[in-house]
């Protein structure tokens, strides 16, 4: 809780608290520590200052699963590029750390993982995501 960061600036330095709050919890018998970082530290922690934009932390508090954060970061990276992104199924599986034995059918991957996550991102964040399938022959790629 006493951790702080000293940030060099052009005309001096600024000292900021790193941790906003810390709480010990038990979830289903598994103990863990919930550490909330200070909102003002985000630009410095991810190394994006200046002309870049960072997501609002209060939007991310609704995310519960790892793939929520990973997909939001992926989609958010295209927001200020002025272009849309295209990702193959193999790249998506790699991004989300999905084994080949899981979600073997594209329909299952979409209905159980992608669609609910995109719906959540659209509802609780400041970005709006639309997806479409790309086909090569009869196969979705």
Q: What tens digit of pLDDT does each residue of 91-107 get?
A: 888 888 888 888 888 88
Residues 3-52: tens digit of each pLDDT = 777 778 889 888 888 788 888 888 777 788 888 877 777 776 665 544 44
**105, 48: one domain:** no
Count of domains observed in the chain: 2
Q: So what's the pLDDT on residue 51?
A: 41
Residue 85 makes CB contacts below 8 A (sequence gap 6+) with 74, 75, 77, 78
Contact in structure between 69 and 124 (CB atoms under 8 Å) = no
CA–CA gap between residue 37 and residue 3 (Å, rounded): 10
Residue-range definition of the domain harbouring residue 118: 55-141
Give CA separation, 64 vs 33, 43, 60, 85, 119, in Å: 15, 22, 9, 25, 14
Q: Do 21 and 37 lie in a common domain?
A: yes
Residue 61 and residue 118 in one domain: yes
Q: Are 68 and 39 part of one and the same domain?
A: no
Pair (40, 84) in one structural domain: no
Same domain, 2 and 33: yes
Does residue 127 sit in the same domain as residue 60? yes
Task: Pull the structure tokens for residue 67.
Answer: 């793939």
Does residue 61 sit in the same domain as residue 30? Answer: no
Contact 14, 5 (CB under 8 A): no
CATH of the domain at 111: 1.10.10
Indicate if 39 and 61 belong to the same structural domain: no
- 31 has which bridge partners? 26
pLDDT digits (tens, 9 = 90+) for 56-79: 666 777 888 888 888 888 887 777
Residues 45 and 61 both lie in one domain: no
For residues 27 and 63, state if they share a domain.
no
What was the pLDDT predicted at 87? 81
Q: Are residues 18 and 63 in the same domain?
A: no
Collapse the DSSP code of 136 into the 3-class scheme (helix H, G, I; strand E, B; otherwise coil) and give the result. strand
Let me know the angle formed at the C-alpha of 18 by 73 and 125, rounded to the nearest 5 degrees: 30
Helical segments of 78-114, H only: 89-95, 106-109
């Amino acid at each position: 809780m006493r951790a702080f960061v000293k940030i060099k600036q052009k005309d001096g330095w600024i000292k900021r608290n790193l941790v906003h709050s810390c709480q010990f919890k038990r979830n289903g018998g598994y103990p863990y520590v919930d550490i909330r970082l200070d909102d003002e530290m985000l630009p410095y922690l991810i190394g994006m200052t200046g002309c870049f934009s960072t997501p609002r932390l209060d939007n991310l508090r609704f995310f519960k699963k790892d793939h929520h954060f990973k997909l939001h970061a992926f989609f958010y990276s295209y927001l200020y590029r002025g272009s849309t992104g295209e990702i193959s199924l193999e790249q998506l599986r790699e991004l989300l750390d999905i084994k080949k034995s899981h979600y073997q059918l594209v329909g299952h991957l979409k209905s159980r993982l992608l669609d609910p996550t995109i719906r959540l991102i659209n509802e609780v964040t400041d970005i709006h995501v639309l997806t479409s399938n790309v086909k090569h022959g009869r196969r979705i790629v």
